[in-house]
């Protein structure tokens, strides 16, 4: 083979290699074109003077402009003023770097694009420079991904957070948020918290500072910490709920307040509520005090009424029942005796020669004799018996469940007891007694008259004796 033939072979090989390279390049370009044209993101290239040199068809889906329309748009038509400023600033920095012999930087921005219908969308934009083989920058390659939904969600979340913050800030209940990590910083406190306690963020930046300020007395602080730590530990078993506890909290001005503190654990943060119940406790204490005072006054009134009632039905000198009470008692006992066919007797007692005692020893001694007499009789009565001062030195004794014979024996026993008793300053004193048993068809007036007649009979018969008056008498 001569030189000419070798040269022809080499040229043929080079041509085949060139054709193969061009074919590979075409395949590669076609592959990248198909990739760009079928991508959901918008892929574009821009010259260094800001002209669009290529944009993928997905621009129509994203912004409403056709590929041809988008290619003709200026930067002002593509982006909002704020996003234009970002793009122009990037080109300015890129020019500066190129002038300094430095490669342009890769950049990523969130930019707002104009749409054909007049609306705007937000895109996450990735920008990187395209270089030639010798390293020269020839254009900019960009990828724009629609993040409008994400931005709207972020904006709504931000608005919700702001609404929540405003709501918390103006809640009438004090709220604070603290970090449960190592630094235990207090991250947030609302207006009510500041108003109740008065401590500045600089004075209580952490849990520890709060406990020192709020509970200055060491022993009480230790007690509070123990309770609080137990509540925090138990919160894990209560879906993060921290059981409320009542504590005595010292505010910045030195005032000690009754505060109910509870909370909720969310992730690594503790949200606490502080309810000031000082006024309520004072109000309750005042109510209790007022109730106690009212109950005391009511008891005093009841006692006074009872005393008035007692005075209305008792004899002031001797303390036994008076005739007003006797009228009520005799009516009730008479009804009971008739209904149940039970015996009922009445004794009329009169102190013998009482006028002589008064004339000889004086009325004060006479009064003491009457008091001593009722005391002596009272010691020997049954609980159901009713002793009444009838008037002056005369007494009536109502004896339920007692027939005439039994009443007669009781009367004589009392007569003997009195006669054998030594009365101060006077010595021996005697009584005369009249006895009458109630009869069902008899009026109370007739019954009392019979007892009185029996008394008169005892007096007439020489005193210091007992007489009985039956209906037939």
* Integer angstrom CA distances of residue 413 from 348, 351, 407, 464: 14, 15, 10, 12
Instruction: Pick left, alpha or beta for residue 353 (phi over 0 → left; psi -120 to 50 → alpha; otherwise beta).
Output: left
CA distance 196 to 203: 15
CA distance 235 to 264: 8
DSSP secondary structure code for residue 106 in this structure: P
CA distance 25 to 19: 10
CA-atom Rg of the chain in angstroms: 58
Pairing type for strands 174-179 and 52-55 reads: unpaired
* Run of H or E residues at 173: none
Beta carbons within 8 Å of 257's beta carbon, 6+ residues apart: 196, 248, 249, 250, 251, 276, 278
Catalytic residue annotation:
393
| Contact between residue 242 and residue 264 where contact means Cβ atoms under 8 Å apart | yes
DSSP 322-362: -HHHHHHHHHHHHHHHHHHT--EEEEEEEETTHHHHHHHH-
What tokens appear for 319 in the block?
Answer: 């303390």
Three-state secondary structure of 259-300:
EEEEEEEECCEEEEEEEECHHHHHHHHHHHHHHHHHHHHHHH
What tokens appear for 54 in the block?
Answer: 């290529």
Sort 473 into a burial class: Cβ within 10 Å, 0-12 / 13-18 / 19+: exposed
Alpha carbon 241 to its chain's center: 16
Q: Which of 56, 37, 33, 54 has its CA nearest to residue 45? A: 54
| Contact between residue 350 and residue 393 where contact means Cβ atoms under 8 Å apart | yes
CA distance 322 to 388: 5
| Contact between residue 258 and residue 274 where contact means Cβ atoms under 8 Å apart | no
């Amino acid at each position: 083979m001569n030189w000419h033939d070798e040269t022809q072979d080499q040229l043929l090989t080079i041509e085949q290699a060139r054709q193969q390279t061009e074919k590979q390049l075409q395949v590669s370009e076609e592959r990248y074109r198909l990739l760009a044209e079928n991508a959901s993101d918008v892929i574009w290239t821009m010259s260094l003077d800001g002209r669009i040199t290529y944009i993928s068809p997905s621009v129509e889906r994203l912004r409403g402009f056709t590929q041809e329309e988008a290619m003709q748009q200026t930067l002002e038509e593509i982006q909002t003023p704020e996003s234009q400023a970002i793009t122009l600033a990037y080109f300015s920095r890129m020019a500066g770097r190129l002038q300094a012999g430095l490669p342009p930087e890769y950049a990523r921005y969130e930019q707002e694009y104009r749409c054909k219908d007049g609306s705007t969308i937000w895109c996450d934009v990735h920008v990187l420079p395209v270089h030639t083989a010798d390293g020269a920058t020839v254009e900019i390659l960009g990828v724009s991904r629609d993040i409008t939904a994400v931005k709207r969600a972020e904006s709504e979340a931000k608005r919700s957070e702001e609404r929540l913050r405003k709501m918390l800030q103006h809640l009438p209940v004090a709220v604070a948020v603290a970090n449960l990590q190592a630094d235990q910083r207090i991250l947030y406190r609302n207006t009510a918290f500041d108003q109740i306690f008065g401590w500045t963020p600089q004075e209580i930046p952490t849990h520890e500072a709060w406990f020192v300020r709020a509970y200055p007395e060491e022993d009480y602080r230790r007690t509070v910490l123990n309770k609080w730590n137990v509540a925090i530990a138990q919160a894990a078993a209560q879906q993060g709920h921290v059981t409320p506890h009542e504590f005595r909290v010292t505010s910045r001005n030195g005032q000690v307040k009754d505060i109910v503190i509870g909370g909720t654990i969310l992730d690594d943060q503790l949200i606490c509520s502080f309810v000031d119940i000082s006024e309520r406790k004072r109000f309750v204490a005042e109510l209790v005090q007022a109730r106690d005072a009212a109950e005391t006054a009511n008891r005093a009134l009841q006692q006074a009424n009872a005393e008035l009632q007692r005075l209305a039905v008792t004899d002031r000198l001797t303390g036994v029942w008076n005739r007003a009470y006797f009228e009520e008692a005799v009516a009730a006992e008479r009804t009971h005796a008739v209904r149940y066919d039970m015996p009922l007797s009445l004794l009329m007692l009169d102190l013998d020669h009482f006028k002589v005692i008064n004339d000889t020893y004086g009325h004060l001694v006479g009064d003491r004799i009457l008091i001593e007499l009722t005391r002596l009789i009272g010691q020997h009565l049954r609980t159901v018996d009713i002793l009444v001062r009838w008037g002056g030195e005369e007494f009536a004794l109502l004896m339920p469940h007692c027939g005439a014979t039994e009443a007669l024996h009781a009367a004589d026993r009392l007569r003997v007891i009195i006669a054998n008793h030594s009365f101060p300053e006077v010595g021996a004193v005697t009584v005369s007694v009249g006895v009458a048993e109630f009869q069902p068809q008899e009026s109370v007036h007739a019954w009392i008259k019979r007892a009185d007649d029996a008394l008169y009979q005892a007096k007439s018969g020489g005193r210091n004796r007992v007489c009985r008056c039956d209906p037939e008498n």
